[in-house]
Amino acid sequence: MSRIHYRGPAPANRDDIKTIRSLLPFVWQFKWRVIFALSCLIAAKIASVVTPLFLKDLVDGLSLPQTLMVQPVAALLGYGFARLASSVFGELRDALFARVTQGSIRRIAVRLFEHLFALSMRFHLQRQTGGLSRDIERGTKGIGFLLNFMVFNVLPTLLEIGMVAAILLWRYDFLFAVVTLGTIASYIVFTLLVTEKRMVYRRSMNDLDSQANSKAIDAILNYETVKYFGNESYELNRYDRNLGNWVESAVKNQVSLNLLNMGQGVIITVGVTALLWLSASGVVKQTMTVGDVVLVSAYLTQLYAPLNFLGFVYREIKHALADMERMFGLLEQNLEVADKPSARVLDTRSASVQFEHVDFGYELNRQILFDVSFEIPAGRTLAVVGASGAGKSTLSRLLFRFYDVSEGAVKVDGMDVRDLEQASLRRHIGIVPQDTVLFNDTILYNIAYGSPGASREDIVEAARASRIHDFVMSLPEGYETQVGERGLKLSGGEKQRVAIARTLLKNPPILVLDEATSALDTRTERAIQDELRQIARNRTTLIIAHRLSTVVDADEILVLDHGRVIEQGSHRELLLQGGRYAQMWMLQQAGQEDGEEELTSS
Distant-in-sequence, close-in-space partners of 423: CB < 8 Å, separation ≥ 6: none
- Cα dihedral 508, 514, 515, 519 sign: negative
74 has pLDDT over 80: no
Burial of 263 (0-12, 13-18, 19+ CB in 10 A): middle
- pLDDT, one tens digit per residue, over 125-154 is 666 666 677 777 777 887 887 887 777 777
The three-state secondary structure class of 470 is helix
Instruction: Yes or no: say if 109 and 57 are a contact pair by the CB < 8 Å rule.
Output: no
Instruction: Yes or no: say if 106 and 78 are a contact pair by the CB < 8 Å rule.
Output: no
Residue 10 — pLDDT band, cuts 50, 70, 90? very low
Average pLDDT over residues 188-209: 76
In the chain, the domains with their CATH numbers are 15-331 (1.20.1560.10), 338-428+508-602 (3.40.50.300), 436-507 (3.40.50.300)
Instruction: Yes or no: say if 202 and 239 are a contact pair by the CB < 8 Å rule.
Output: no
- Alpha carbon of 347 to those of 281, 402, 409, 431: distances in Å? 87, 20, 20, 18
Task: Specify the DSSP element, H or E, that contains 357.
Answer: strand 353-363
Q: What amino acid occupies position 399?
A: L
Residue 287 — pLDDT band, cuts 50, 70, 90? confident
Most confident of 16-20, 309-313, 401-405: 401-405
447 has pLDDT over 80: yes
pLDDT of 11: 42
Average pLDDT over residues 3-32: 63
Q: Which residue has the higher pLDDT, 568 or 85?
A: 568
Burial of 293 (0-12, 13-18, 19+ CB in 10 A): middle
Nearest to 510 by CA among 305, 350, 299: 350
31 has pLDDT over 60: yes
What's the distance, CA 587 to chain centroid? 48
Most confident of 142-156, 175-189, 254-268, 416-430: 416-430
295 has pLDDT over 80: no
pLDDT of 556: 92
SS (H, E, C) 186-218: HHHHHHHHHHHHHHHHHHHHHHHHHHHHHHHHH
pLDDT of 72: 63
- Alpha carbon of 314 to those of 155, 187, 191, 581: distances in Å? 11, 12, 8, 70
pLDDT of 307: 67
- pLDDT, one tens digit per residue, over 518-558 is 656 666 667 677 777 777 888 899 998 887 878 888 899 99
Q: What is the rounded CA–CA span in Å between residue 460 and residue 473?
A: 10
pLDDT of 542: 92
Residue 384 — pLDDT band, cuts 50, 70, 90? very high
Instruction: Yes or no: say if 411 and 356 are a contact pair by the CB < 8 Å rule.
Output: yes
